[in-house]
């Protein structure tokens, strides 16, 4: 098991990683962060709304499933949102430089970091 700091450090080792955070989706508060390049507090609050909206949509559709991750692709960045399976209401938020990141490998490494975290 890894601490929040260790998990964020692992996320920041991903090629192209700019910043990472562990976020409480109930409050939008950042529980831990690393890196720079994005106003992580503002991004965490905004992406909390993304997670909530997706959860509401899944409930409306009566989908009996869970979110593996949410990918937002911008012109210069990838934003990965990965709910923490062992801690409902928490998610990893990772911002990657699109020119330097390998998306498939990044998603796998975020999955590994999520599986190891202990909050």
Q: Which two tokens stand for residue 27?
A: 């409050």
Within the chain, residue ranges assigned H as helices are: 4-12, 40-60, 103-116
pLDDT of 92 strictly over 90: yes
Residue 109: give its domain's CATH number: 3.30.450.30
pLDDT higher at 1 or 21: 21
- Which domain, by its residues, includes 19? 4-116
pLDDT higher at 92 or 2: 92
- Considering its fold, how many domains does the chain have in total? 1
CA–CA gap between residue 89 and residue 101 (Å, rounded):
27
Whole-number percent of the chain with pLDDT over 90: 87
pLDDT tens across 2-52, in order? Answer: 889 999 999 999 999 999 999 999 999 999 999 999 999 999 999 999 999
């Amino acid at each position: 098991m890894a601490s929040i700091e260790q998990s964020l450090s692992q996320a920041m080792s991903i090629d192209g990683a700019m910043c990472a955070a562990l976020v409480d989706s109930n409050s939008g508060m950042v529980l831990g962060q690393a890196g720079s390049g994005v106003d992580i507090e503002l991004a965490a609050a905004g992406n909390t709304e993304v997670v909530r909206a997706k959860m509401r949509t899944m409930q409306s559709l009566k989908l009996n499933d869970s979110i593996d991750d949410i990918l937002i692709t911008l012109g210069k960045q990838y934003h990965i949102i990965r709910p923490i399976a062992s801690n409902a209401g928490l998610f990893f938020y990772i911002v990657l430089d699109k020119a330097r990141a390998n998306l498939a490998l990044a998603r796998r490494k975020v999955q590994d970091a999520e599986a190891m975290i202990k909050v």
